[in-house]
Amino acid sequence: MQYDRLTKGIAVVFGVLTAVLTVVGLLSSPAVLFLALMFGASTYLMYYHLSGRMAASVYERVEQRAATDGRGAPGDGRGGFGAGPREEWEPPRDGRARRTAERVRQERARRQQARGGRQGTGRRRQPVQQASGPTPAEAYDRLDLDPSADESDVKQAYRERVKETHPDTDSGNEREFKRVKAAYETLTDE
């Protein structure tokens, strides 16, 4: 999820409010304890969501329901209207996971096309577009790094190169900036 940091921040604030309201409620009024209970429940739900257990629990229930015919009886594993769990599905976490999943799908399609390109339906598969961007070797070269560099070195080199090439600077070059950005994305997506 792309708002993890924001959700964590809100959860921390709610947790602190829960503690403060609990102390105030114990000292003054039981009504304030009820308010502390509400903030505590909200904090727990945010934590449950951030830990990933909520998405895993929901998906597990979907798989169980799909394995039955919807009434709890064993069925053909397809669920209600022919919909069943997708084996390649992963809960969405951030853009990086989405790009990785897309790369895996493209690679599978490329391998399938290399094997003959037919799926048994009699139709030819559409050619898969090659992912644009530099190869890892080119990316390391653009960032002036050796291939043994770790992720922190890549980030450091990227920041330095961006400062040099950003179009808003005096010596900036938009084309080179885009090339540096593409190199960084290639190395961080590996």
Q: Which of 39-48, 71-80, 111-120 is predicted least confidently?
A: 71-80
What rounded mean pLDDT belongs to the chain? 77
The whole-number pLDDT of residue 94 equals 60
User: Which pTM does this prediction carry?
Assistant: 0.35
Q: Which of 15-19, 39-43, 118-122, 150-154 is predicted least confidently?
A: 118-122
The whole-number pLDDT of residue 57 equals 83
Task: Summarize pLDDT for 16-36 with one digit per residue, the tens.
Answer: 999 999 999 999 988 899 999
The whole-number pLDDT of residue 120 equals 47
Distance (Å, whole) CA 179 – CA 139: 9
Integer angstrom CA distances of residue 183 from 151, 165, 169:
13, 13, 20
Per DSSP, 126 falls in state: P
Who has greater pLDDT, 80 or 14? 14
Where residue 79 falls among pLDDT bands split at 50, 70, 90? very low
Show the tokens assigned to 40: 């505590």
Distance (Å, whole) CA 112 – CA 118: 8
Give the residue carrying structure tokens 């050619």: 127
Task: Summarize pLDDT for 81-130 with one digit per residue, the tens.
Answer: 555 555 555 555 566 666 766 777 888 888 778 776 554 444 555 544 45
The whole-number pLDDT of residue 74 equals 55
